[in-house]
């Protein structure tokens, strides 16, 4: 197979201060489609996603991320990757099917940066609402709120990111797409890893405190939709952290903003498509400004210091 | 690895009536970057491609395609796929390294539709002109002529496309993304196959005459760039076959036009990103119009009848 | 005053075959805002228009245009222009206030091409729904259906267009922006006239049959909105005549389509802004193709022959 | 006439620290077309402007604006407006023809905010490089540097802006399009005035120090061109003050940046088209943030404090 193993980000379970408020925010402002609810959690997907959910909100009284999961090709792949993780010395556990609505068993493990990562192979295909026979290119859900196409990637903050990179590359088949070097010219400040032709499926920034979330990203399909997203954020009094602007890394266009629990999210468009045989792009410390915010050429104060 | 085996379209060798005229056309109007020339051939790449070439023009006194090649992950993959093809009953030959400039050995074979397909693992990385350290998001080459990002895919015309599909899926690891059914509701008129998250890396339309080319497609990065391409076509008196418009299949926006040998090419943007665990989209015969040209909802006369 | 006299197109009364069907079409597909209804007519405005209406649909059992009206600066201007028209030899009549809902007295006259033109100075400001204090840049109405900003201009078909031009220029203060010459290199096939910095507020094509309507145009604010309009037309099975494409004349991007009475309408974006001290642009007969449809460089069969 | 009197901004004479550096900047980065040079000045126009120049750079050893001029309809208008100004109590002087290259006599006067304003009726039509017969929609100059369509407007800082408004409205025929109120809810902080259907041809912010320039604005034709402008600014190490973002006032999209003399300039797109019979839009003091920067909803520190 040309695409095998880990396919894509499958779900992010996000902690929120007030579930009802968060449901309102992610439904009406972000414009995700709510697909389910259980005792403590609400389930969402982007309008063009087919799996039952990608974003899960958990009523936690605090902000942050519980875990970030990837969809793998099938059950056999799940078993193989679980075995590979164990051989690599990673402790894994199986979370039973049904623990997340419409989702099969998940293989969960902690990575050196302190985050819980999951793999799973089964999630109910609920469709994108347009059917699989003679579908239109989009429907009304594509214009309800900011209306991202999908949950796209996450940027995590924690220590030992070189160990995380080794694990994702050696065991899970990811490859390094871009990285930013620290002042020493050797150690990475940040890494962007892909399991696909996306410029990133996961990214990490080196940070003393483990297990932190910098942002969850949602995909838009044009720079004009990025403008529309910024307009809707202002109309809804959403606090924008930065943007609209462009990243040097990935070339993507972007807005960073905060949900009403203080979790940062990104509405993101574009970026180039990359391949695993490509040489990774390197950003040096003196160019960290344009690497992150290409237009301003400097970090905004919140970028490194604010996370959940 | 998450992306393995066949990575992407690597090259298309196109036959042209007059090489000098064609070089002028693909350099200045299409806006590809010329990277080499040998006795009968000129080599081109899109501004953001890194491999030495993707489009090769051969002085042939006629239009059409010589062969269409895919880049595979590495030499070991090439050997494995060669063996798999032989096991599947496909006759393969090795074309020596250096036959195409800056390109390693190629494994060549004919598919049931009559086309020559190639696999290769080695092609010199000549870069995209922006370096791999602190690169800008684009450079002047991105605005010289239509300036596609890359050669993106090809649509081939020939018989026995179900056998082609079987070969690409069972041996080369592609998956079916969309298909259009004939009036019988069972046989495919056309199939779109992917080895990546692109909605198509190769497509085929059933046609009695074997080995024909419908079009080679070049990628643009916005609908506004599609407008710019149409403007440049008119300024340069290029004959537009259809567009700007949208395809129902892939949702991509598009213009079809002809080079000065009569080969159709496409300037294409967008389309969704697909995954191998997704159910293929099916278009029925009564909706073949919107499947191909979503806005007009009918085929233009040239679509089925004109190919090279 | 820098802008005086005739300000802009104020209203078009369009004849339709079935009022209920037409109301449904212009509300839900075109996405105009319905603002009123009287015995035989329904009233509409674009989402960002402030006057009570710009498009009026009349249940007429046939297609075509009843009249096309312009908003003038104030009552004094209306009286002055009425006197100027009479001095020029034009017969005028006053239509009483209230004949059109929320509209003052209208000065009506026939122009040499056989069309009824009106001037009026009073129409109730119903607002654009966002208020005039701290308004957002747009609201939900901007995304309901195709959702044009405003009725923008009309293209009329009839004889004696040089006499129409003289009247509009000499009496009403319009100026010629562009024109297309017939084969003789002297007579105009078509003229584009402006009373503002728009590239056209009214256009005429020479045609033996008098008093005909080629199309009413509605303004969109980006090429991406033109794509969205084309998508919505297809989703709603609207017959597209031509587009998305670009006009050579005005440089505007465009789609021509038909309402369910057979009246052609245009969803139009852009074009340059012109000034009365600019030399008009001239298109010669051999370039009538790109003048009208810049990409295809030829007229489609319907352009000259189909009108209502 | 429907458009009479003052037609549009005609020229801005800008003071620069180093003329050669400024010529290089405005030619290659901003992408204006240089059309002339005299002893101390260089002359520029936007690619689609027809008049000989709109921006004049003067070697002054300091930053700031010498004067801002408007093009009026014709010589008679110039004489009438000159008389009207005198009747209004404004002292005017005639600057001889030829003082600015390819420009007729200018009527110059000082407005209460301390700025020198000019009116002139004659400037050589040098064309936009595409001819006036069968022109293409754009040419290579439209992609050289940021390549604005035209100089669009200016924002001036000075005292007594209510007196400036009276003069522009009562004598020159402008109308108020939008205004921002100070905390007292009565006095204007800022006013936007138009002589056309543009949302502003000149704007003023109340400021103790007279005769100051906040920015000169250049027009782009899409939000995608605004992104391209921001990219080019970063590539050329131009200091961006703010943007890409949207203004609440005018709804325009924008980037503010500084030239190498410290003069702020804006690359601006869009905004609605307004009419003199429309009620002006009012922004209250508590909404001054979104009025200026709609997305961030707050002023950046430089906005009020930095001018030249």
In tens, the pLDDT along D186-214 reads 999 999 999 999 999 999 999 999 999 99
| Same structural domain, C101 and C67 | yes
Report d(CA A288, CA C3) in Å as an integer: 51
What is the total count of domains within chain D?
A: 2
The pair phi, psi for residue D303, each rounded to 5°, is -55, -50
Active site residue C295: no
| Same structural domain, B238 and B277 | yes
Kindly report the nearest CA distance between residue D74 and chain C, in angstroms: 8
Residue B236, pLDDT score: 98
Residue A135 counted as domain residue: no
Residue C137 counted as domain residue: no
Confidence class for position C1, pLDDT limits 50, 70, 90: low
The pair phi, psi for residue A52, each rounded to 5°, is -50, -35
Among D156, D144, D58, C291, which residue's Cα sits nearest to residue B144?
D144
B222–D136 C-beta distance less than 8 A: no
**Count of positions (residues) in chain B:** 308
CA-to-CA dists, residue D96 to C65, D14, D70, D122, angstroms: 53, 20, 16, 12
B231–C294 C-beta distance less than 8 A: yes
Residue C212: enclosing H or E segment and its boundaries?
strand C212-220
C173–D2 C-beta distance less than 8 A: yes
Report d(CA B73, CA B69) in Å as an integer: 13
Active site residue D153: yes
pLDDT digits (tens, 9 = 90+) for B251-264: 999 999 999 999 99
| Same structural domain, D282 and D209 | yes
Cis before C76 (ω within 30): no
Q: What is the ipTM of this complex?
A: 0.96
Residue A102, pLDDT score: 98
Residues of chain A with pLDDT under 70: 1
What 3-state DSSP class applies to D175? strand
Active site residue A247: yes
Residue C302, pLDDT score: 84
- Nearest Cβ partner for C272 among D48, D195, D276: D48
Report d(CA A229, CA A238) in Å as an integer: 10
Residue A140 counted as domain residue: no
DSSP C96: P
Bridge partners, B3 (sequence order): A3
Report d(CA B49, CA B52) in Å as an integer: 8
Task: Calculate Rg over the CA atoms of chain B.
Answer: 18
CA-to-CA dists, residue D271 to C129, C138, C166, D31, D219, angstroms: 17, 11, 33, 22, 11
The torsion defined by the Cα of D41, D46, D47 and D50, in degrees rounded to 10, comes to -80
Residue D256 counted as domain residue: yes
Q: What is the edge-to-edge ordering of all strands in the sheet holding D116-120?
A: D33-37, D41-45, D55-59, D6-16, D64-72, D116-120, D106-110, D92-95
CA angle at residue B131 from B125 to B133, to 5 degrees?
120
Report d(CA A26, CA A32) in Å as an integer: 6
Confidence class for position D18, pLDDT limits 50, 70, 90: very high
- What mean pLDDT is predicted for residues B272-279? 97
Q: Which chains touch B (3 or more CB pairs under 8 A)?
A: A, C, D
Report d(CA C195, CA C8) in Å as an integer: 7
Is residue D270 predicted with pLDDT exceeding 90? no
CA-to-CA dists, residue D25 to B42, D33, D236, angstroms: 38, 11, 9
Residue D214, pLDDT score: 97
What 3-state DSSP class applies to B82? helix
Residue D271, pLDDT score: 87
pLDDT digits (tens, 9 = 90+) for B58-106: 999 999 999 999 999 999 999 999 999 999 999 999 999 999 999 999 9
CA-to-CA dists, residue B143 to B28, B172, B221, B225, B266, angstroms: 11, 35, 12, 10, 18
Average pLDDT, chain B: 97
| Same structural domain, A75 and A204 | no
- Nearest Cβ partner for C223 among B223, B233, B245: B223
| Same structural domain, B301 and B177 | yes
Do A55 and A32 contact (CB within 8 A), yes or no?
yes
A296–D231 C-beta distance less than 8 A: no
Is residue D1 predicted with pLDDT exceeding 70? no
CA angle at residue A183 from A177 to A186, to 5 degrees?
50
Residue B145 counted as domain residue: no
Kindly report the nearest CA distance between residue C127 and chain B, in angstroms: 32
Is residue C301 predicted with pLDDT exceeding 60? yes
C240–B296 C-beta distance less than 8 A: yes
Report d(CA C292, CA A243) in Å as an integer: 40
Range of the domain at A98: 6-127
| Same structural domain, B224 and B290 | yes
Residue B84: enclosing H or E segment and its boundaries?
helix B75-87
Report d(CA D75, CA D123) in Å as an integer: 11
Last residue of a domain, one of A75, A92, A127: A127
Do A177 and A275 contact (CB within 8 A), yes or no?
no
Report d(CA B305, CA B295) in Å as an integer: 20
Is residue D20 predicted with pLDDT exceeding 60? yes
- What mean pLDDT is predicted for residues C32-55? 98
Among D294, D307, D24, D280, which residue's Cα sits nearest to residue D156?
D307
| Same structural domain, A157 and A271 | yes
Kindly report the nearest CA distance between residue A235 and chain C, in angstroms: 7
In D51-187, beta strands by DSSP E: 55-59, 64-72, 92-95, 106-110, 116-120, 150-158, 175-181
Report DSSP letters for D249-268, one per residue.
GGG-EEEEEE-TTS-EEEEE
Could you say which of B256, B272, B287, B307 is catalytic? B256
DSSP C211: S
Which chain C residues contact residue B290 at CB under 8 A? 234
Q: Which chains touch A (3 or more CB pairs under 8 A)?
A: B, C, D
Is residue C20 predicted with pLDDT exceeding 70? yes
Higher pLDDT, D306 or A9: A9
What 3-state DSSP class applies to B211? coil
pLDDT digits (tens, 9 = 90+) for C160-206: 999 999 999 999 999 999 999 999 999 999 999 999 999 999 999 99
Q: Is the dihedral of CA C278, D152, D63, D34 positive or negative?
A: negative
Task: Calculate Rg over the CA atoms of chain D.
Answer: 18
Report d(CA C298, CA A261) in Å as an integer: 58
Residue B136 counted as domain residue: no
| Same structural domain, B54 and B122 | yes
Cis before A257 (ω within 30): no
Residue B251: CA atoms inside 13 Å, Cβ hemisphere, count? 19
Residue C145 counted as domain residue: no
Higher pLDDT, C1 or D2: D2
Is residue B237 predicted with pLDDT exceeding 60? yes
Residue A1, pLDDT score: 56
Provide, rounded to the nearest whole percent, the portion of chain B with pLDDT above 70: 100
Report DSSP letters for D140-162, one per residue.
GGGGSTT--SEEEEEEEEES-HH
Last residue of a domain, one of D94, D129, D164: D129
- Nearest Cβ partner for A222 among C138, C224, C231: C224
Q: Say how many CB pairs under 8 Å bridge B and D.
A: 14
Q: What is the SS3 assignment for chain A?
A: CCECCEEEEEEEEEEECCHHHHHHHHHHHCCCEEEEECCCEEEEECCCCCECCCEEEEECCCCEEEEEEEEECCHHHHHHHHHHHHHCCCCEEEECCCCCCCECCEEEEECCCCCEEEEECCECECCCCCCCECCCCCCHHHHCCCCCCEEEEEEEEECCHHHHHHHHHHCCCCEEEEEEECCCCCCEEEEEEECCCCCCCEEEEECCCCCEEEEEEEEECCHHHHHHHHHHHHHCCCCEEEEEEECCHHHCEEEEEECCCCCEEEEEECCCCCCCCCCCEEECHHHHHHHHCCCCCCCCHHHHHCCC
- What mean pLDDT is predicted for residues C103-126? 98
- What mean pLDDT is predicted for residues D91-116? 98
| Same structural domain, D228 and D297 | yes
| Same structural domain, A96 and A181 | no
Residue D48: CA atoms inside 13 Å, Cβ hemisphere, count? 23
Active site residue B256: yes
Q: Which chains touch D (3 or more CB pairs under 8 A)?
A: A, B, C
Residue C204, pLDDT score: 98
| Same structural domain, C191 and C248 | yes
Active site residue C247: yes
Q: Exposure of A229 by Cβ count < 10 A (0-12 exposed, 13-18 middle, 19+ buried)?
A: buried
Q: Say how many CB pairs under 8 Å bridge A and C.
A: 14
A282–B133 C-beta distance less than 8 A: yes
Report d(CA A98, CA D179) in Å as an integer: 58
Residue B170 counted as domain residue: yes
pLDDT digits (tens, 9 = 90+) for D150-177: 999 999 999 999 999 999 999 999 999 9
**Count of positions (residues) in chain A:** 308
| Same structural domain, A161 and A294 | yes
Neighbouring CB atoms inside 10 A of C232's CB total: 20
pTM given for the model: 0.98
Burial A238-247 (b: 16+ CB within 10 A, else e): bebbbbbbbb
pLDDT digits (tens, 9 = 90+) for B28-45: 999 999 999 999 999 999
Is residue B1 predicted with pLDDT exceeding 60? no
Report d(CA D149, CA D128) in Å as an integer: 10
Which chain D residues contact residue A257 at CB under 8 A? none
Contacts of range D21-26, beta carbons closer than 8 Å, 24 or more positions apart: D21/D260, D22/D57, D22/D259, D22/D260, D22/D261, D23/D57, D25/D259, D25/D260, D26/D55, D26/D57, D26/D259
Among D85, D155, D163, which residue's Cα sits nearest to residue D119?
D85
CA angle at residue A213 from A208 to A214, to 5 degrees?
90
Neighbouring CB atoms inside 10 A of A39's CB total: 6
C231–B295 C-beta distance less than 8 A: yes
Direct distance between the N- and C-terminal alpha carbons of chain B, in angstroms, rounded to an integer: 38
Active site residue B118: no
CATH of the domain at A37: 3.10.180.10
């Amino acid at each position: 197979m040309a695409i095998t193993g880990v396919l894509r980000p499958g779900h992010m379970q996000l902690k929120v201060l007030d579930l009802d408020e968060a449901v309102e925010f992610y439904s009406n402002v972000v414009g995700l489609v709510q697909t389910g609810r259980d005792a403590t959690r609400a389930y969402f997907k982007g309008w063009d996603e087919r799996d039952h959910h990608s974003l899960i909100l958990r009523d936690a009284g605090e902000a942050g991320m519980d875990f970030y999961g990837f969809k793998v090709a099938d059950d056999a792949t799940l078993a193989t990757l679980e075995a590979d993780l164990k051989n690599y010395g990673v402790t894994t556990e199986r979370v039973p099917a049904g623990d997340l609505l419409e989702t099969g068993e998940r293989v969960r493990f902690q990575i050196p940066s302190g985050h819980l990562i999951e793999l799973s192979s089964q999630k109910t295909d609920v469709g994108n609402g347009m059917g699989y026979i003679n579908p239109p290119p989009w429907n009304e859900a594509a214009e309800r709120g900011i209306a991202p196409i999908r949950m796209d990637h996450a940027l995590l903050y924690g220590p030992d990111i070189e160990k995380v990179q080794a694990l994702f590359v050696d065991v899970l088949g990811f490859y390094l797409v871009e990285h930013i070097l620290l002042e020493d010219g050797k150690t990475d400040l940040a890494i962007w890893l892909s399991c696909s032709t996306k410029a990133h499926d996961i990214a990490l920034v080196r940070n003393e405190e483990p297990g932190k979330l910098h942002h969850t990203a949602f995909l838009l399909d044009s720079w004009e939709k990025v403008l529309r997203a910024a307009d809707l954020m202002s109309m809804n009094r959403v606090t924008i952290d930065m943007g609209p602007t462009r990243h040097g890394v990935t070339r993507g266009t972007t807005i960073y903003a905060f949900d009403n629990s203080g979790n940062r999210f990104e509405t993101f468009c574009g970026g180039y498509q990359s391949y695993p045989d490509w040489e990774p792009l390197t950003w040096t410390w003196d160019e960290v400004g344009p690497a992150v915010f290409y237009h301003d050429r400097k970090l905004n104060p919140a970028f490194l210091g604010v996370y959940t």
